[in-house]
A and B are shown apart, each in its own frame.
Chain A
Amino acid sequence: MKAVKQLRDCYDVLIIGGGPAGLAAARAAWNDGARQVLIIERDSVPGGILNQCIHNGFGLHYFHEELTGPEYAGRCLDELADTGVELLLNTMVLSLDELPQEPGREALGGLLPEPVQESLSPDLLTGRPPHRVFAASPELGSVCIKSRAVILAMGCRERSRGAIQIPGTRPAGVLTAGAAQRYVNLEGWQIGRRVVILGSGDIGLIMARRLTLEGARVLACVELMPYSSGLLRNLVQCLDDFGIPLLLSHTVTDIRGRRRLTGVTVSQVDENRQPVSGSEQDFDCDALLLSVGLLPENELTRAAHIPLDPRTRGAYVYENMETASAGVFACGNVAHVHDLVDYVSEESQRAGQAAAAYARGQGISGRAIPIQHGSGILYTVPQSIHIKAAGDGQADRDAAYNLFFRVTRPQQQVRIALYDGDRCLKRWTKPSVAPGEMERLKLPQTLLKDCGSGSLTLTLEHPAVKEATANA
């Protein structure tokens, strides 16, 4: 990997974001033959959020050993060491070109808006004009960079207090878990002495342990839902091991303190997630950490009018992670929020490979059909897949689609079923599923080659679900 001295006329693959997604995509694009690969990273170092995740637990699936966040990032960088991938640091992408509607892409979230006037001439390899990415950096100024393929790997951001509308005063000491993590792990400053954490997502749980180790007292972890959205191992290792109570079906209903936080009120919530009057308990605390969900960072995507799935809040993508805009791919947390970075790396490899193929003029082919969500399924990624015609050279007997999905609520002993119209193609069983854990399926291409209804449906089959559907 090398630093950029001078920008090239046109890249094969340009990657926005140098976190785990961008780094894995770059490696895969290089391996697949792309030789002009550029990563644009806004920070002064690559690695993204991994740099502040100093705890362990990363890499078990992808590198087959347990690593800390910075170690995981280091491994991703090591994999790029012997490549010619270029890295542009301290550079912020400001916008992407809007491209004309590609015919046949209606499966991905409907029609794109009216095409903008396109002034660039088509590229010889892809047959389409290159994408333009506008960026600014202290060294280069404000520049337009052209590339045949673009990979969106911007990651996600945290939901903040406004998103959940906690009433009360607005003092210092109320901050997102990620901001607290940066203060403690990178800046070297503690953010409070008596802490309440709202949300039992993984970052909140990790921070409960981290702040405790730094000498703070974590009074409680408060979760709105009747179950935690964090990984089981984090519940055990970060709360139970330190005796930190987890208050399920509770939320923060008041914030006090004019300058610095002096306390919060925590209330129980009913089945409609509304506070139960009379259940209030007050905590004297000087910090409230919010770990109330992550949102894919798709402002560039939205501004470029690439259709977004309201469920994932990421772009609609095909199995090769290509969005509705031909030659623009999305992977990692910008496509959908993952539970493990290992799956980010794996998914991003596919995007990198597909982007390299696109840059060579080998686009995806086949008939695109959407995957509908049946009962109990929150979302799937990809949202749509290409069915290879029988006898198509690409329809490899061993090839499979990787399907990620999340469920709407925790359940035991479920059957997951895939339907082609009314016909069940396959069933899988799982001892348990939970919204906090991403589920994965491999769908063999051979299973789908005769798919005839034009739409697939993934659904959970479970007595409780059937009952709920009947009531609804």
Chain B
Amino acid sequence: MFDCTIIGCGITGAAAAYLLSHYDLKLLVLEASNDVANGSTKANSAILHAGFDPEPGSLMARANVRGVEMAAEICRRLDVPRLNCGALVLAFSPDDLHTIRELYARGLANAVPGLRLLSAVEARQLEPYLADTVTGALLAPSSSIVDPWEYALAMTETAVKNGLVLALGRGVREIKLPDAAAGKDYFELTDSQGQRHQSRYVINAAGVHSDQVHAMIGGHNFRIHPVRGQYFLLDKNAGHTCRHTLFQCPTAAGKGVLVSPTVHGNLIIGPDAEAVADPDNTATTAEALEYVRRMALRSLNNIPFGENIRNFAGVRAQSDRPDFIVEASPQSPRFINLAGIKSPGLSAAPAIAEMALDLLAQAGLALKRRADYDDSRRRIRFRYLTPAQQSELIAADPRYGHVVCRCETITEGEIVAALHGPVPPRSLDAVKRHCNAGSGRCQGSFCGPRIHEIIARELGLPYDAVTQNEDGSYIVTEPTKGNSDKGVTV
């Protein structure tokens, strides 16, 4: 019997798991994917927004400002890459100048620190390559960038280290409401592998699938209308094209196309906003990428698109309501929906989780702080160590002297550490998210086969059982004619 089950381990579920794990509770996370942060959390702009955008007084505004304040502390404590690079909202027309003045006023109302309206000359002093058509800008110095999947992973790992049960590859198939008449004071959840779990409380953080999960208990008071956004990710050679996150003025469709450095030193460009029927449709299209490219070139005219290393698309869990949905289900006060978490969901996540804790407490969950909580996490990042530190590390474990991913300088030691960590990655893409191996300019074409072998060896998997990403994304089909190993781990 679990006290609380969290459905979905994206950034919202991970934040809820992390905050709840501070209390004396038996916790379960059910995640449909074979890794955490494998949905919207891995495919977004990776911005911790300052908070000038949401309507003052909205849940979104409060959660955004509170969330990024919490994020700064969580990232520091759990060793998550975060960089306070600041942001500019660019104006290109008198209408835009009007909009940035409105954003400035909104930001003040939302208590965003340090906002300033800049002339075109002042903006160009900060960003020399701005397009000539820029006529002014709003500067938001508190805007930051973060590694979104490591942020979610760090919170999940810490929760797991403190006893939370993480069940990967297990979506929810069926949920039965508590039935007091039958003496069942708990939800009964059946996962995608047919296993049943009993839980007194449930948090629905299923992202683009949260309406489907809510429907399992007969809840129909919101619907998700997935919106796809496409991106370019440029090589580190292009990472210095701009120093701030460069927004254009927001429209009804969203925050518009941005250009931003990433915490890893790359340049990210996107997204567009396109309604899609299938919440799992993360395909890219030539038309949308062309639109993103054209829009981005309005901000900066020297973007070296020839340095592109990857295109991707993410689907935002936009709902039929304008604000975030953070509330108990009408079907049961013990079933908390955290839904419609579109942008700025990454920024707001810990604040949303905090609100969820309040709702659980109101519904009767006893929250008793644990005295023995281990609220720490450290990851070895070989490339950022001094030569003396590197030598010391290699002397203790020679696998740290074996650089496997040459683009990102990731060692075998780091990959092995991830594979034996609290949340082991099981695929090449998961290894990439957990320790950056394969995320560089060659996109794993050099190190992929080598990491494949390390995964098989460390996890004791047959060579052909290692996948690219989700289960079923197998990489090799069968042994070649001369291979006598026939499916046996190398």
Contacts and interface: CB of A to CB of B under 8 A. Distances in A.
Interface of A: 42, 90, 92, 94, 134, 136-144, 157-158, 160-163, 165, 167-173, 175-176, 178-179, 182-184, 186-193, 214-215, 253, 255, 258-260, 275, 286, 299, 302
A78 B283 CA distance: 51
Given A136-B403, A139-B401, A144-B387, A187 B442 contact: no
Interface of B: 232-233, 237, 280, 282-286, 289, 306, 308-312, 382-383, 385, 387-388, 390-392, 394-395, 398-403, 406-407, 409, 411, 441-446, 448-449, 452-453, 463-464, 467-483, 485, 490
A137 B404 CA distance: 11
A416 B261 CA distance: 46
B398 A138 contact: yes
A137 B463 CA distance: 27
B289 A214 contact: no
Interface of B is mostly: mixed
Q: Is the interface of A mostly helix, strand, loop or mixed?
A: mixed
6 contacts: A42-B403, A138-B394, A141-B401, A162-B311, A191-B477, A299-B407
Given A42-B406, A163-B309, A190-B480, A172 B467 contact: yes
Contacts of B282: 169-170
Contact of A172 (B289, B383, B468, B490): B468
A179 B445 contact: yes
Given A138-B401, A142-B387, A187-B453, A253 B286 contact: yes
Contacts of A187: 449, 452-453, 463, 476, 490
Contacts of A275: 286
A171 to B, nearest CB: 6
Given A163-B308, A189-B478, 11 more contacts: A92-B402, A138-B402, A139-B401, A140-B401, A143-B387, A160-B309, A172-B473, A176-B445, A189-B463, A190-B479, A259-B470
Contact of B477 (A144, A165, A193): A193
A449 B280 CA distance: 68
A189 B309 contact: no
A260 B309 contact: no
A168 B284 contact: yes
A247 B394 CA distance: 51
Nearest to A154: B406
A114 B403 CA distance: 31
Contacts of B445: 157-158, 160, 175-176, 178-179
B390 A259 contact: no
A259 B476 contact: no
B416 to A, nearest CB: 13
- Most chain B CB within a 10 A radius of its CB, from A134, A173, A186: A173
Contact of A162 (B443, B471, B474, B479): B443
10 tightest A-B CB contacts, nearest first: A188-B483, A141-B391, A172-B468, A142-B390, A138-B398, A138-B401, A189-B476, A92-B403, A172-B473, A259-B472
B309 A162 contact: yes
A275 B289 CA distance: 15
B473 to A, nearest CB: 4
Contacts of B309: 160, 162-163
Nearest to A287: B477
A42 B450 CA distance: 13
B479 A189 contact: yes
A160 B392 CA distance: 36
A172 B443 contact: no
Nearest to A290: B445
Given A142-B394, A160-B309, A171 B473 contact: yes
A186 B448 CA distance: 13
A157 B444 CA distance: 11
Contacts of B311: 162, 165, 167
A92 B406 contact: yes
Contact of A141 (B280, B283, B394): B394
Contacts of A158: 442, 445
A167 B387 CA distance: 41
A325 B395 CA distance: 34
Nearest to B307: A163
Contacts of A161: 310, 443
B398 A139 contact: yes
A189 B390 contact: no
B310 A162 contact: yes
A188 B308 contact: no
A250 B369 CA distance: 64
A172 B441 CA distance: 18
A138 B412 CA distance: 10
A259 B469 contact: yes
Nearest to B472: A259
Nearest to A179: B445
A178 B443 CA distance: 13
Nearest to B427: A172
Nearest to A134: B387
A184 B280 contact: no
B399 A138 contact: yes
Contact of A215 (B283, B286, B481, B490): B481
